[in-house]
Amino acid sequence: MKNSKIEVHTSGAALGAEVHNINLKDHLSDEAKETLRQALDDHEVIFFPDQNLDPNQQKEATRIFGPLLPSYTFFDHLDDDPEIELVINDKDKPPTGTARWHADLTWAKEPPGGTSLYARKLPGDGTGNTIWASMSAAYDALSDRMKSYLEGLEAVHSWDLLLDGRTKFLARSGEAFLNHKSKNPPIPQPVIRTHPRTGKKILNVNPTFTNHIVGLPRLESQGILEFLFCLPARPENQVRHKWHEGTLAVWDNTATQHTAVDDFYPQYRELTRVTFGGHGVPV
């Protein structure tokens, strides 16, 4: 039976590992669950190939890593379930807003601890990859002087910086847009965050949601942020994942940023997405 000896195969990059000899539909012991949580702490994004999960099974697998969160983004919910989103792109639904570096929902008071994404249907030519970057590795590569300068600074994160996301909400209704905006005002977050589980220092700014650094002149803030925004794009901080149907990816949203590669358009791709919490208010 699978799950008796879980195997974690590292990618050899700054982050990422594949988990083998496991069937996520099976009952997992407490020891097995702790092995998976440790793998995520160690590798920041982990991949489970050759799974055959329905949406509820994906939710149960995701719950290993933290409490599930209802999600209210511009993705549709599957069967009106607030805890699972259906991500479909094709010629009628082009991918928008995800092909830029970001961590999810950093404009929230308590951003998600992480996310799972399950590949249901994919293009047949290997396109549509996803890239993750380790923001702990990006922090570690900074000079001591830059680390010292950034420590204690805060940057404002805002939900409606992302034009494509605003457009999707406005397409639903102006009332939905204004309601979401009023519930999620711009919020200051630490530029350097400490991971609540691992204690690692992490760069906590991203070009999708971070507007400016508090208390700095505009040009100084802009220059520092442009430098920090470049760091996820450095290959030494990345792992690139080629999807296969039946693969579940789970990533640590605190420790990483990610970006989609939209080269599959206009082909059909279908994924399901579940979000979990548990990392608290950024400090």
pLDDT at 184: 79
Average model confidence (pLDDT) across the chain:
92
Question: pTM of the prediction?
Answer: 0.93
Instruction: Select from 3.20.20.140, 2.130.10.10, 3.40.50.720, 3.60.130.10 the CATH code of 7-276.
Output: 3.60.130.10
What's the whole-number mean pLDDT along residues 171-179?
A: 64
The token duo for 8 is: 């974690």
pLDDT at 118: 98
What's the whole-number mean pLDDT along residues 24-41?
A: 97
User: pLDDT tens digits for 188-235?
Assistant: 999 999 999 999 999 999 999 999 999 999 999 999 999 999 999 999
Cα separation, 112 vs 66, in Å, equals 10
Asked if residue 60 lies in contact with residue 36, where contact means CB atoms within 8 angstroms, the answer is: no
The DSSP result for 196-259, as a single string, is TTT--EEE---TTTEEEETTS-HHHHHHHHHHHHHGGGSGGGEEEE---TT-EEEEETTTEEEE
Top pLDDT among 167 and 146 is at 146
Top pLDDT among 87 and 182 is at 87
Cα separation, 283 vs 276, in Å, equals 19
The fraction of the chain above a pLDDT of 70, given in percent, is 91
Domain ranges of the chain: 7-276
pLDDT at 251: 98
Cα separation, 124 vs 118, in Å, equals 16
Cα separation, 255 vs 200, in Å, equals 8
User: pLDDT tens digits for 37-53?
Assistant: 999 999 999 999 999 99
Q: Is the pLDDT of residue 54 over 60?
A: yes
pLDDT at 173: 57
Q: Is 179 helix (H, G, I), strand (E, B) or coil?
A: helix
The single residue listed with the structure tokens 């379930």 is: 81
Sheet hosting strand 238-241, strand order edge to edge: 238-241, 130-134, 256-260
Least confident of 70-79, 213-222, 223-232, 259-268: 70-79
pLDDT band at 79 (very low <50, low <70, confident <90, very high): confident
Q: Is the dihedral of CA 68, 73, 75, 77 positive or negative?
A: positive
pLDDT band at 1 (very low <50, low <70, confident <90, very high): very low
Least confident of 8-12, 151-155, 178-182, 253-257: 178-182
Beta strands in 28-122 (DSSP E): 45-48, 68-69, 76-77, 85-89, 114-121
Residues annotated as catalytic are 102, 104, 258, 273
Torsion of CA 141, 230, 98, 172, to 10 degrees: 120
pLDDT at 122: 97
Top pLDDT among 103 and 173 is at 103
Cα separation, 61 vs 46, in Å, equals 13
CB within 8 A of 30, min separation 6: which ones?
Answer: none
What's the whole-number mean pLDDT along residues 266-279?
A: 97
The token duo for 22 is: 């496991």
Asked if residue 82 lies in contact with residue 165, where contact means CB atoms within 8 angstroms, the answer is: no
Asked if residue 112 lies in contact with residue 253, where contact means CB atoms within 8 angstroms, the answer is: yes
Q: Is the pLDDT of residue 179 over 90?
A: no
What's the whole-number mean pLDDT along residues 79-100?
A: 89
pLDDT at 172: 61
User: pLDDT tens digits for 112-137?
Assistant: 999 999 999 999 999 999 999 999 99
Identify the DSSP state of 159: G
Q: Spell out the alpha helix ranges (H) of the chain.
A: 30-43, 55-63, 135-140, 144-150, 163-172, 174-183, 218-230
Q: Is 43 helix (H, G, I), strand (E, B) or coil?
A: helix
